[in-house]
Amino acid sequence: MSIQTNRLGDPTVRAFVTAVNAGDKAAFEALLTPDATMSDDGSDRDIADWTDREIFSSNGHMDVESESDGGRTLLVSYRNDTWGEMRTKWRFTVDGDKVSRFETGQA
């Protein structure tokens, strides 16, 4: 059972998931602070390269199963054309109305 995106608790995280699922790279990039960082399975990655490869060029899609930490931690069934579907955890650091860091990895 997934949570409808428009019901996610944190408005910035909600906008992040909406941009990912719409394949809207411009909206996604507008949500990031200029110095935003991210990690995948505990290793820091280049955010532009990673998001292009893992989200935008491979039709990434997030089905949120649950949220915690006021909507800033998500358990997600994530799928893309490269890896298929997997359970992942996403943690967000939100600064104002922008994401300054996100961490993802297998759940």
Give per-residue pLDDT as tens, 41-96: 999 999 999 999 999 999 999 999 999 999 999 999 999 999 999 999 999 999 99
Q: Map residue 21 onto helix, strand or coil.
A: helix
- Tell me the CATH architecture of domain 5-106: Roll (3.10)
What is the pTM assigned to this prediction? 0.96
Q: Give the model's confidence band at 1: pLDDT under 50 very low, under 70 low, under 90 confident, else very high.
A: confident
Cα gap 33→22, rounded to integer Å: 20
The residues spanned by each domain of the chain are 5-106
Q: Tokens standing for 6?
A: 């428009």
